[in-house]
Amino acid sequence: VAIKRILPHLAEDNRFVEMFIDEAKMAVQLNHAHIAQVIELGREKNDHFIAMEYIAGKDLLALYHHMRRSRQRMPVHLVALIGHRVAEGLDYAHRKRGSDGRPLGIVHRDVSPQNVLVSYDGAVKLIDFGIAKVRKQGYEATRAGVLKGKFGYMSPELIEARTVDARADVFSLGVVLWELLATERLFAGDNEFVTLELVRRAEVDAPSTRNPAVPPELDRIILRALARDPEARYQTAAELADDLARFLHTQGFSPTNKDLAAWMRGQFSQDLESERLKSQQHARITLGPDGEVVQGSQDEEEEEPTALWQPDDGMADEWARATSPPDEVEPVPDPLAALDAPRRAAPAPERPLSERPLSERPLSERPFSERPTDQVPIGDRPTALRPQVGVQRGRGALWAALVVGLLATAAAGWWFLWREPPASLLVRVNPSDSLTIRLGDEVIGQASPARREGLKPGRQVLEVTRDGFDPWRQDIMLTAGEVTTVDVRLALSLSNEATLRFLVTPPDAHITLGGKEVHDGEARAPAGVEVALVIERAGYRPVKASLTPERGRQTLRYELALSPGTLFVETDPPGTVFLGEERRGRTPVRIDGLDPSKPWPVRVEAPGHKPHEETVEFKDRRFVQVEATLQPQ
């Protein structure tokens, strides 16, 4: 087993202990092949711990770094297999019900490379539900207003403090898969705020632009998982898992845990030997005189810590840290990064400031009446020599300059402290693009969300317009020192609306209009406004077009053409391949450009052996593989 525990210096943090226990209580209910099994929540003296399944292998962060160091790329079909396994585990957690039969509403919220393990036996396990959100008895068990997770793997709605559901985990998994395919970070800024802005925008290139081995179908799957709008994403992790399984099938791949295990053992043969030696060392672990385990070296890999961040007050906090005296800064510990670290003696717990004697508190925490002042001795003073007149005048001028400077500084400080702080505005609009957002006479944005700082407090007029939609206008009150958030949902203009009915062959093709999925073959759109149409189905050529709908109802018909098929033929011993009566080369051979709508008779001949014959049908597949062992005559 593996033991996850709280470091002694964090054991005094009741909030952290509560979060740790909540994780265990939730995770122990999850029993799935692709989620690491929690066995027990226990307590030894004052130390809480979780006993969980031990996974001998690597996390995806280690795989990512290994690929970069060795200048390799992970096989595309194995990336898809890992994504399929994780998506299945997430779907199980998302659908998990409590003892009362009601959905728990679990959202992991920290799907990242560090939290996906691949064992040397080819198993894929999702771990660490430490900051997951659970719906309990009508309320959400999470710390409101706090952004949690690794910044580069958060979803846009989590950063913007919008409602978060299972689709946020789909987005995070999409980031992980994109990075495994591309072997580079997707959202990596120079600092946390730049990274958050990159995630918020979610402007993503297809992974094939970094890795030409990625097929278009897998591009489509990854980009759909990474859609900025949750409505345009896969609505469940099960949908993502199904598409990845369909992709593997249509591409002619059938990878298993055995294939993944073979790849892992080939890539990490030295680490396997180290694991064996480490197991032998663990069998000889000794205890120190105080009962503490004598630890060895720490892991090499550095994890990006799971972060706790206030989305609305982040910039203010940054300013406060930059301007506060050093002795008043109390950094917030990162509880998740501290788990599983080497044990050490706990420092004596500090009392809260409110419980300390006034003499021990920082000056900013004491009442003005208790703050020390400069002490001036009273009574006998030594007699000073009378200064010369010139010196006295010089000192008088110096004192005058000092007094003027102090008065100016005091006036500036008084103005800074007592002036009315500016207001901030955050506007979130659906739909989120092609907008004109005005505050008074000033345009403050053309896309959602739009944020403006340094505004004058008071009543203002906010107006949002978009072609094909009714304008939205409202008086708002901006409050000094606060962020006013306004959510706007624009309504389609009834006088300028088009209703589109799609009749597509095959009927189960996937349709998106303006980036949004079309359900039941019907969609509404603003008339006279150009919109992008995409119709796709595995095994068929996609349709990509721009439409300008007309007012009223329209019926649009599309018939997708089958994509050309590819046939792989491999025999033992090698032989000559015939399609019908046409000779197509010797095995192993790849034959492209075949019509997938008709059957293809395949015959392989080799001297001294019986010919092998079979008929190949593509059906919905683009790739078909024929493997045969020729029998002696």
Q: Enumerate the active-site residues.
A: 110
Q: Which H or E run includes 181?
A: helix 166-182
Q: Are strands 497-505 and 552-559 parallel, antiparallel or unpaired?
A: parallel
What's the distance, CA 121 to chain centroid?
27
User: Residue 622 carries which DSSP code?
Assistant: S
Q: For helices 314-323 and 192-201, what crossing angle results, to 10°?
A: 170
Q: How many helices (H) and strands (E) does the chain have?
A: 13, 31
- What DSSP string runs through 17-56? HHHHHHHHHHHTT---TTBPPEEEEEEETTEEEEEE----
Amino acid at 294: V
Question: Between the CA atoms of 266, 269, 275 and 276, what dihedral angle is there, to the nearest 10 degrees?
Answer: 110
404-412, long-range: CB < 8 A, 24+ apart: none
Q: Which of 311, 338, 292, 25 minimizes the C-alpha distance to 145?
A: 311
Q: Which two tokens stand for residue 70?
A: 């060795």
**Cα(221)–Cα(39) distance, rounded to whole angstroms?**
35
Q: Which two tokens stand for residue 56?
A: 């001998």
**Residue partners of 254: CB distance under 8 A and separation at least 6:** 248
Q: Phi/psi zone of residue 528: left (φ > 0), alpha (ψ -120 to 50 degrees), beta? A: left
Amino acid at 151: F
Answer for the pair 37, 92: CB distance below 8 angstroms, yes or no.
no
**Cα(602)–Cα(577) distance, rounded to whole angstroms?**
7
**Residue partners of 545: CB distance under 8 A and separation at least 6:** 532, 533
CB neighbour class for 632 (10 Å; exposed up to 12, middle 13-18, buried from 19): exposed
Q: At 601, is the secondary structure helix, strand, or coil?
A: strand
Q: Which two tokens stand for residue 368?
A: 């003005």
Amino acid at 97: R
**Cα(455)–Cα(443) distance, rounded to whole angstroms?**
13
482 to each of 179, 373, 540, how far by Cα in Å?
37, 35, 53
Q: Which of 411, 386, 328, 403 minimizes the C-alpha distance to 362?
A: 328
